[in-house]
Structure 1
Amino acid sequence: MSDEEWERFLRDAEAGTAGAPVEPSARDREAEGRLRAGPARPEGWRTYTPPERPRRRTGRYAAGLVAAVALLAVALFPQRLLGWFGDGGADAPPLAAETARPSEAPGDETALRGTLAEPFRGSPAARWADGAAGITVPDAKATGWMDAAQVARALRQSRDFLVAAGLDTAVLRGERPTEAIALLNPHQRDVQDYLRTALSGAPTPDTDPLLLFSRFRPEQARLVGDVVRTRGRLTYREGKRGAVEVTADVTFVYPVTPAAGDGADAEVIRTIVRRQIVMNWDDPEKVITKPGTMSLVSYALDLTNGGCDEPTGYFVPPFGAAADDRSTDPSHRVDPYDRTEPLDPGDGTTEPVNGCATATRS
């Protein structure tokens, strides 16, 4: 409204002129508000609207607590929990890499034989990595005469030796381990003498090529598929005369079937080999060596389902009746998947004195 109209309104209201606007009372304002809101809706006798409360996050915190407890349990008792989740088949989740010596053996699996479709079924190896991926290589730091880059190269070549000696398909078929031999110091006379005798076709217990290399007779056994499961690690320290001493402790699981076998029901046996090899990467100013090669310090072998008679230079899986005719020592029982204790290098092998040991599982 204009200023003139506003002033006239104030004068009329003050003078009490008829028709002048009057300010509504509180009761009038309340009644007017109810009329504008419309008729009230009657409340049902069973209805109840609770007051709003802050939303709580108890469920989320509880779930987080359960997850934290589960992760702690897996970290502290990984092997014990392993047996809770099925039979170790093709769908079993993979294990984390081994970075330290385990405190206990893998948990018990459902006793199942391997098949051509699932050669690692019923075995802890069902959750192990394939080939070289199962061999953990630590971070490299300057050690002895080597800087960090040289140590990294030595560790990489140490794993290359394990791959060439235990995973190369040609070597597994019985061929000469040329690539592995190329990584051995040609000036280490005792090792070169061992190689000549071991690969000559007339091995002895002390010169058995199986002490370093994995080999099968093609006419007796063949691998199931092209996957070998492994689990283990490399460690290193400063050795004698400033050398970088690398220790490999790796278990290889080879699923094999008779060479002449065929059909879906063919027998599958797992040959399990644990190797512990100590290698020196020597300072060429202190030890006669060839660049890019290493010297062997010791090597030990633990073998299951690979034969325990006179050495032939090849693993001999006990197929069929041979599995029942083995001469075993019931007092010497071993778990081939137990990696809690180091192998005793001794004279290069850890076979029991009286025939084969009895494996608790395979």
Structure 2
Amino acid sequence: MGAGTEPDGSSRSDEEWERFLRESVAGAADAPKEPSARARDVAKRLRAEPDRGQQGWRTYTPAQPHRRTSWYVVGLLASLVLLVVALVPGRIVDLFTGDATDSPPLAGETARPAAAPPAEAAQRPTTNKPFRGSPAEKWAAGAAGITVPDAAAVGWMSAAEVERALVLSRDFLVASGLDRGVLRGERPEKAIALINPHQKDVQELLKSAFRTPSEKNDPLLLFSRFQPSRIHLVGDIVKTRGLLTYREGEQGALQVTADVTFVYPVTRADAGDDEIVRTIVRRELVLSWDDPDKVLTEPGTFSVVSYAYDMTNGGCGAPTGYFDPPFGTDRRAVEAGTEIDPYDRSGPVRQGWSSEDGCDRATRS
């Protein structure tokens, strides 16, 4: 009997039978294999899950935020913005208008500027921001805007004495143009005390100026004053810009020149509106600290060599001893004279504020 027989009864050769036995043990290359138990579990789980759009099982899709959570965050942020606007509306407006008031003031002048300051964006002044829309917004306040140079010995004075005279010269500018009582019409006693009491022409001016003001004897020639029954100052700040210079004068005296611009924001005392006008005054004073061995004087006082001032938005009628700023239609009616830029400090101080055509008109205030 052969090693094996076919269904038709034919016999297999020994070689064929041996190959059959080997393949039965090793398994044929293309024969299907029985899946493992783990593979069967995975296949069962995948068939049970819904279709995922042909995504691979290793594909990662980040979780999407819940729509209600997103709208809650947006609403919270909007509420915070509205709260900030309600509490500090001016600050929000400034972000869009470029009105930056927290920036430090300009450095003090060390010499007369070569040109007028650049134009500012047109913005209406307010009681909280009375210098808004003017170059003065970037100026220092009060005495800080008046530059006092370093002192050196001059004439009969040592460096220390010159330094003291410069400080007292600035004190006169503060007492005559920044003192709140003087600005409200009070007599400038502190300023007057610094003037040489033996200088007859100035003492005559002071004697009559406050009683019967005139073009020749007008307190405004040396002092800034407003009538409190008509005009109120806005806020507690007056902006200034200018400097002191010095040299040796006659008979070895120390001669100090002050060139300072003062900006006063004011409103009508009896008005219900919020119109604010800025009265701008530029003063040039030449003061002589004389040698007491050569000139009759008192210690700690100076003689007035000359004075000049230029003013806009301060009135131009008959002298009353007070600045009289025009408002509303009155302002437009009187401003028919020469156009000037009151912030231009590049030229000398003009003596006067009106012409035959009417008050000088400020190109900006």
Name the TM-score, length of structure 2 as normaliser. Answer: 0.71
Mind listing any 5+ residue stretches in structure 2 that lack a counterpart?
1-95
> Are 2:285 and 1:277 aligned?
yes
Same amino acid, percent of matched pairs: 62
Work out whether residues 195 and 303 of structure 2, in 8 Å CA contact, stay in contact via their aligned partners in 1. Answer: yes
| Alpha carbons of structure 1 residues 112 and 177: separation in structure 2 relative to 1, 3 Å | same
Q: Which residue of 226, 230, 233 maps to 1:223?
A: 233
| CA apart distance, 1:109 | 0.6
Aligned 1:110-189 pairs, distance under 5 A? 110-189=121-200
**2:345 is matched by which residue type in structure 1?**
R
> Are 2:363 and 1:355 aligned?
no
**1:307 is matched by which residue type in structure 2?**
G
Task: Please report the RMSD computed on the Cα atoms of aligned residues, expressed in angstroms.
Answer: 1.6
Aligned 1:1-362 pairs, distance under 5 A? 89-200=100-211, 202-261=212-271, 266-329=274-337, 332-344=338-350, 349=352, 351-362=354-365
Work out whether residues 87 and 122 of structure 1, in 8 Å CA contact, stay in contact via their aligned partners in 2. Answer: no
Work out whether residues 88 and 109 of structure 1, in 8 Å CA contact, stay in contact via their aligned partners in 2. Answer: no
Work out whether residues 255 and 286 of structure 2, in 8 Å CA contact, stay in contact via their aligned partners in 1. Answer: yes
Q: Distance in 1 between matches of 2:249 and 2:178?
A: 28
Work out whether residues 89 and 122 of structure 1, in 8 Å CA contact, stay in contact via their aligned partners in 2. Answer: no
Equivalent residues, number: 270
* Paired position in structure 2 for 1:50: none
Q: Distance in 1 between matches of 2:293 and 2:354?
A: 38
* Paired position in structure 1 for 2:27: none
Q: Distance in 2 between matches of 1:310 and 1:229?
A: 27
Bigger Rg, structure 1 or 2: 2
| Alpha carbons of structure 1 residues 133 and 327: separation in structure 2 relative to 1, 3 Å | closer
| CA apart distance, 1:199 | 1.0
Work out whether residues 195 and 302 of structure 2, in 8 Å CA contact, stay in contact via their aligned partners in 1. Answer: yes
Q: Distance in 2 between matches of 1:309 and 1:112?
A: 29
Q: Distance in 2 between matches of 1:325 and 1:187?
A: 44
Work out whether residues 306 and 316 of structure 1, in 8 Å CA contact, stay in contact via their aligned partners in 2. Answer: yes
| CA apart distance, 1:240 | 0.5
Work out whether residues 88 and 123 of structure 1, in 8 Å CA contact, stay in contact via their aligned partners in 2. Answer: no
* Paired position in structure 2 for 1:43: none
**1:113 is matched by which residue type in structure 2?**
R
Name the TM-score, length of structure 1 as normaliser. Answer: 0.72
Any idea what the Cα deviations from partners look like across 1:198-249, whole Å, max 9, x if unmatched?
Answer: 111x211111111110000001111111100000000000000110000000
Q: Distance in 1 between matches of 2:263 and 2:357?
A: 24
Q: Distance in 2 between matches of 1:315 and 1:121?
A: 22
**1:355 is matched by which residue type in structure 2?**
G
Moved over 2 A (4+): 85-93, 349-355
| CA apart distance, 1:283 | 0.2
Work out whether residues 216 and 315 of structure 1, in 8 Å CA contact, stay in contact via their aligned partners in 2. Answer: yes
| CA apart distance, 1:321 | 2.4
Q: Distance in 1 between matches of 2:346 and 2:97?
A: 24
Work out whether residues 267 and 274 of structure 2, in 8 Å CA contact, stay in contact via their aligned partners in 1. Answer: yes
